[in-house]
Every structure is written in structure tokens, then in C-alpha cells.
Amino acid sequence: MSPSESNTSTIVKREKVILHIDGDAFFVGVEIAKNPKLRGLPVVTGQERGIVSALSYEAKALGIIRGMPIFRVKREFPMVVILPGDYRAYVEYSTKMFDIVRRYVDDVEEYSIDECFGELTGLDKPLGMSYLQIAERIKREVNEELNLSVSIGLASTKVLAKVASNWVKPNGLTVIENKTAADFLQKVPIKKIWGIGPRTAEQLNRKGITTAKDFYDKDIAWIKLILSKPYETIWQELHGVSIMEIDSASKTVYSSIQKTRSFHPSTNDKTFLWSQLSKHIEDSCRKARHFNLVPKKFSIFLKTKDFEFVTALILLPSPSNSPEILLSLAHVQFENIHKRGVLYRTTGVTLLDLMTDFVPQDDLFGSNTRASKFEIIHKQIDTLEEKFGKIVIYLGSTKSAIDHKADKGGTDSEDLDKNLLFL
DNA sequence: TCTGGGGTCCTAGGACCC
DNA sequence: TCTGGGGTCCTAGGACCC
């Protein structure tokens, strides 16, 4: 190589090849894989939640939609098979699906339980297959080994790969080349593009942009002028310029931990609302301890019947994942934000500014000494709970939230009584 | 007392995703 | 989709500092 060549950074910008794989009606797909007799039947999951979480294509054809109350499904569509969610199995199948992709691809981003991206760029030569053949192999192996239907997209960017995998569903395999991207985008409503939600779609609609092609045809300067950075990225990606990297670092750290629950009917009952928050604080702290994370602050919120948020942000004097500490601070704020006569439908807690491996420093006022005692207790409780394989111990302030759940569950209430202990 | 210009850090809130 | 639960990222604006 001559000096001039090496100087002029002769990095040929090779187009990337990105694969996106998306499970078809994943939860229901797993249920069918577990029990093939269900194939071809209208099936929904979500029995335990009281609303439809996932549904088979046959169920969709009947007019059932996600979020529909289970009682309505029972009443209006008695032929439908209603199943409780089996999250363990979904995770298991998900892992197996990603493992199949990893047989061919090193760089895999697990985007959600039923979706991943894979970086195929340059793998055609070593694998001795075309990119399309690699995708076909992956698809066939998932189909045959897991009895699972998936749709795959192949394109030069993540955003286009998402468009592609969505193009033919279920059981599709679609390639979008940069040359033909515009033709595809003509038939895609702008709100269907990954990263463009209802707010931005509406804003764009008002400016006459209704299809992804309309957006594609705009000048980048125009995009910059009226939208923010993420939308510039989307525009570039639609044009085949890969900006978004495949993020294969496996996800073990969280930057926040959230627990929320809605209930029906909405209520103003202070004791009940507080016990819900109490449970959320306990559950979120438990999760934080499990991942060895400690929040520096946290927020509590109430959502009104009309979907209005009221939140309170609380700074911890010293980082802690002991619920007792958070509870005492949260209680004051709860008193502040709870308004008489307002009906609430949801409560929630978010742990924020999570630090890892926190070792409490002693301070002059001994507040950390207090925290340490709680920490010791919780460590012991966590060990105990792990041994029994289920949660056995809650604080007294949480009791009525648990009782409420038992009421709703009906048959579980005996079980719950036997295995729960309140401090 | 008033006047600049420019940098960093933090926060609240908005928007999005599955 | 009249709306479940769990997340992430970006940005405008304020505080504070030369």
C-alpha cells in the first residue's frame, strides 16, 4: 500500500446489513408451541390481568384487540381460548430464539423479549452464504426447532430493518434495499415508523406529512428546523445511512426501576392508595437489592381517573434500598399530593439515579447506621425468600394491598395467607 | 451598581418503545 | 385501541461559576 493510500483514509463506507427478527404474536406463539393443539384456534393470554395481553391471528380476526377486558371476550366470543401468561416460558423461548441467531451472528442486540437486531455486515463471505440465505436459515431453524413463527427484515439500517420485518407478517422475510426504500415507504403511514409516536405523527400530519415517504422526501434542514435530534437520526436511517449502532452489551444494569399498578374502580381511599405505594416501594427495593443497586432519589406518583399525573420527587439523604427509609420519606409527600375527593386509578414508584455497589459511609448523625441495620435485615430476608422461591415477607403498611389482591384473585387467597408474613 | 459572554451541571418533563 | 406495566433518551431552562 502506498503512503498516499493509507493517508487518505481509504475506508470504503460499506453499506451495513442489519437483520431484525420479530416474533409473531409471541406470547400466544409460545403457548401454541407448548400445546400444539391450540394451533389454528383463537387464543388470547392475559387471564390473570383481566385484559388481553396477546392474541392469535385467529382471535384478531374475530375483532378482539389488545387491552380488551377478559370478561368481554368470554361474553362475546365464547369460542376463544383464554390463558394466563406464562412469563417463564416466554423468557425461555426468547433465549432460545436469540441463541439461534447467535449461531450465525456475534453482534446481537436483544431489543425486547420477542425482538432482536443482528449485525450481518461482512458475514456473507465467512459463512459462505448470501445475506438472504443467512436470514432464511435463521428463520427456518426458529420455525423448526422452536415451532415458532417469526418475521424477518433485512436492510442497511435498524429503522429500515424494522419496516422490513413488519412488511409481511406473520412468517415473512423482507429485504429493503436503499434503492427501493422510497417505494416501500410510500405505503407506510408515518406513525408506523419506529421512533415516531402519536404526538410527532400528529404534528407532521398537520404539515401535510402522512406517509413515511413524505417524511423521506423532506429536506434534512427542514427536519432539523422543526424536530429534535432523534428525528434527524430517523430521517438518515430511512435514507440508508446507519446512525444507530447495534448495542450487543447485555442488559444487566438499570438506570431506573419502576413499579406501578392500576385498579378498577378508581378510588380516593387513602389507606388503600398508601398500601399500594407501600407495596411498590417494597417491590422496587427488592429488585434494586437483587441487582445490587441503590437509588439516590425516587419518585412517587398518582394518576387520576382522567389520566392526570401528580408526582413527587424525593431525594434520599443518603442512598438506600431499604423500604423503611423510603416509606417514611414518601409518606409525607403522599399526604401532600393526595387530594380529597379526587379519584385515582394508578399509583407508582420509580427509583432513580441508581448507583451500583454502594457502601454506606458513616456520617456524624448516625442516619447511615440506621440504614445499615435495615440493610442487614433485608439481606437476611432476601436470602430466606430466595430459599422459599417466593415472596413471603412484607411490611405491615403493605398488608391491605396484598389483601386486596387476594380478594380479586379469589382462589389464591388461602395460598397467600399461608405463605405471607407481615412485619 | 451595572454590565457582558460563555461554560457546566442538574432537573423536570416530554416523547417514545415493547 | 379510551389507555397495562416497565423502561430509555432528549432537551429546555435554571443555577452556578468564572
Tens-binned pLDDT, residue by residue, of chain A (423 aa): 444 444 444 556 678 999 999 999 999 999 999 999 999 999 999 888 888 999 999 999 999 988 888 989 999 999 999 999 998 899 999 999 999 999 999 999 999 999 999 999 999 999 999 999 999 999 999 999 999 999 999 999 999 999 999 999 999 999 999 999 999 999 999 999 999 999 999 999 999 999 999 999 999 999 998 899 999 999 999 999 999 999 887 666 788 899 998 887 888 899 999 999 998 999 899 888 888 888 989 999 998 888 888 888 888 888 888 899 999 999 988 988 888 888 898 999 999 988 876 555 555 555 555 556 777 787 777 777 776 666 567 777 777 777 665 444 333 333 444 456 676
Q: Looking at this protein, which amino acid is placed at residue A302?
A: L
| Rounded distance between C-alpha atoms, residue A377 and residue A371, angstroms | 10
Say whether A115 is catalytic. yes
CATH topology of domain A254-421: Dna Ligase; domain 1 (3.30.1490)
Q: Considering A115, A119, A237, A282, which one is annotated as catalytic? A: A115
Q: Which residues are within 7 Å of strand B by their Cβ atom?
A: A 111-115, 162, 193-201, 311, 313, 315, 353
Residue nearest C12 (alpha carbon to C1'): A228
As a rounded value in angstroms, the CA-to-C1' distance for A251 and B3 is 51
As a rounded value in angstroms, the CA-to-C1' distance for A122 and C1 is 42
Which pTM does this prediction carry? 0.83
Phi and psi for A155 in degrees, rounded to 5? -160, -175
- Give every CB contact of residue A24 below 8 A, 6+ residues apart in sequence: A57, A148, A149, A150, A151, A169, A170, A171
Cell numbers of A389, please?
Answer: 422461591
Task: Given CATH 3.30.750.24, say whether it is the number of domain A1-177.
Answer: no
Question: Among all strands, which nt has the closest C1' to A65 (CA)?
Answer: C1
- Reported as type and span, the H/E element at residue A158 is helix A158-167
Residue nearest C8 (alpha carbon to C1'): A255
As a rounded value in angstroms, the CA-to-C1' distance for A205 and C9 is 24
| Rounded distance between C-alpha atoms, residue A405 and residue A418, angstroms | 15
- Reported as type and span, the H/E element at residue A57 is helix A57-61
Q: Is the separation of the CB atoms in A411 and A400 below 8 Å?
A: no
Q: Is the separation of the CB atoms in A109 and A117 below 8 Å?
A: yes
* % helix, strand, coil for chain A, step of 5: 45, 20, 35
Q: Looking at this protein, which amino acid is placed at residue A53?
A: S
DSSP-based three-state secondary structure for A358: coil
Is the N-terminal amide bond of A198 cis, ω within 30° of 0? no
Q: Looking at this protein, which amino acid is placed at residue A335?
A: E
Find, among A290, A389, A416, A297, the residue nearest to A349 by Cα: A297
Cell numbers of A122, please?
Answer: 461482512
| Rounded distance between C-alpha atoms, residue A108 and residue A247, angstroms | 7
Q: Which bases along strand B come within 7 Å of a protein CB atom?
A: 11-18
As a rounded value in angstroms, the CA-to-C1' distance for A222 and C12 is 20
| Rounded distance between C-alpha atoms, residue A194 and residue A174, angstroms | 17
User: How is chain A split into domains, by residue range?
Assistant: 1-177, 254-421
Q: Is the separation of the CB atoms in A119 and A102 below 8 Å?
A: no
